[in-house]
Homo-oligomer: A and B are copies of this chain.
């Protein structure tokens, strides 16, 4: 980045350089990854979030809404808006749980399955390119560090919160 004359703020606020790095680096890297996948999704008329839903259902079978929120890392209010559209397009279906009418089960429908089948080769091609370019070993190392950081931050958050860990809107995976 362009080096500029130190501002008053810079002189009086010695915030650590890395302080801005971690969230920004994660955001930038994620955008760089998604940039490769987004065109394929767009050409099939699904957003990244919709894809995550279809993908989770394909991978794990029918899920309840709270399970789907966790699997896709989407917030419940977001799911409540996304699911009706996917249902309308007959990519998924929903049915209430007889034992508890508050809950409902979301399933992948044939058209959703077909869409996944169509996108899978594109997706795999991108992953193969990423692995080739960056290195499978380094990817695994990165994933390991990300997982460890997430785990340690959740422990930290649990200590700082007054509420029990996981009581917030978006729950981490147990």
Q: A residues touching B (Cβ–Cβ < 8 Å)?
A: 1-2, 4-10, 12-13, 15-16, 18-37, 52, 55, 57-61, 67, 71, 73, 108, 113, 116-117, 120, 123-124, 127, 129-130, 133-134, 138-143, 145-150, 152-157, 160, 168, 170, 172-173
Contacts and interface: CB of A to CB of B under 8 A. Distances in A.
Nearest to A157: B35
A33 B154 CA distance: 9
A5 B160 contact: no
A29 B146 contact: yes
Contact of A139 (B22, B117, B154): B22
Residue from the set A27, A149, A156, A172 with the largest chain B CB neighbour count within 10 Å: A149
